[in-house]
Amino acid sequence: MLFSDQLRKDVDPIWEASFQHPFVKELGEGTLDLRCFRYYVLQDSYYLTHFAKVQALGGAMADDLQTTASMANHAQNTYEAELRLHETFMKELGITEEEKASFVPAPTAYAYTSHMYRAAFAGHFGDVLAAILPCYWLYYEIGERLKHCKPNHPIYAKWIETYGSDWFRQLVEQQIARLNDIAKTVSEKELERMKQHFWISSQYEYLFWDMAYKLERWPMEEEDVYANERA
């Protein structure tokens, strides 16, 4: 069995929970509260900014220049396609420059990006791929599941169109193949560590939907602290 097939099998219950999460299901139906999607766009823009940086870190850790160039291209795609898509969504959703300037990442978004950096700085290129691959792969599978949906909101339709596209599928397949190649060259101990990165990232993907659906807050946000200080 390919390493990627084993990873996918191991996380199947977690991914199935993502498929069934109300955020994902309601997005496909077009019934998702726009407040949740608006929140998601802000948090995901933060996440993707750091995702692109981790992709670039992975490229710097690669053994050959061709892979370095490919990872740089993946980072560029994250900016040009996904982040620009979010910029379009922000305009359509009326997100202001003041809101962007005062943005604070939610606990889950902060923790997920920190996990990816930890995988990068404490491991090798295989660790980076294992940590970032669930984001690619899960989104593609969700895009495939939802691509026949016809949500009545154009923003939701555009999101589905992006992640169910052949362009995105090719990116996913490239990274899966790259991970399988690395898996043939590393020790069992390293494979187990890579499996853990993949598993943790899959958990965070589920938590990300939940974070957006519940409009997650820090237990004590700045306004709460200031209110307590004035009391």
d(Cα 104, Cα 135) in Å, to the nearest integer? Answer: 21
Q: Which residues of 46-68 are buried (b: 16+ CB within 10 A; e: fewer)?
A: bbbebbbbbbbbbbebbeeeebb
Of 16, 29, 97, 135, the active-site residue reads: 135
205 noted as active-site residue: yes
118 C-beta neighbours (distance < 10 Å), count: 14
The end-to-end CA distance of the chain, in Å, is 62
Written as six digits, the tokens of 116 are 């990816």
Region for 97 from its dihedrals, namely left if φ exceeds 0, alpha if ψ lies in -120 to 50, beta otherwise:
alpha
Q: Are the beta carbons of 121 and 54 closer than 8 angstroms?
A: no
What residues have CB less than 8 Å from 229, skipping those under 6 apart?
Answer: none
Of 36, 205, 216, 229, the active-site residue reads: 205
d(Cα 195, Cα 65) in Å, to the nearest integer? Answer: 26
The residues annotated with a catalytic role in the active site are 135, 205
